[in-house]
Amino acid sequence: MAKGKAAVSADLKVTPLADRVVVKPLEEAEQMRGGLYIPDTAKEKPSQGEIVAVGAGKLSDDGTRIEMDVSVGDKVLYGKYSGTDVTLEGEEYLILRESDILAIVG
């Protein structure tokens, strides 16, 4: 990613500001426990997703832009109750700050 530039995947028309990222949560496989179907309402919120848009980075006190450590396409782990859920063009996304990301996966 170019320094100080926001990055967005081609199919998404939203650009996060500052140190925010847009994450598409990865769906976990449907689970059966003891032969019982677990309804969507009882499933835990996924805490893994793929970054589809990245802001330009946070401004430091002296006015320089701090480059983001993540980029579009990274698979990340984030806190269970982090960020804000949004629906864009019929798809569910999560907008969160880079500091809410716990790790980059694989």
How many independent structural domains does the chain possess? 1
From first to last of its 106 residues, the chain has per-residue pLDDT tens of 445 677 776 677 889 999 999 999 987 655 555 666 666 665 666 689 999 999 999 999 999 999 999 999 999 999 988 999 999 889 999 999 999 999 999 8
Residues 6+ apart with CB under 8 A from 2: none
Report yes or no on 32 lying in a domain.
Answer: no
Q: Model pTM?
A: 0.77
Report yes or no on 33 lying in a domain.
Answer: no
Parent domain of 59: 7-27+44-105
Burial pattern 63-81, b for ≥16 Cβ within 10 A else e, equals: eeeeebebebebebebeee
CATH number at residue 84: 2.30.33.40
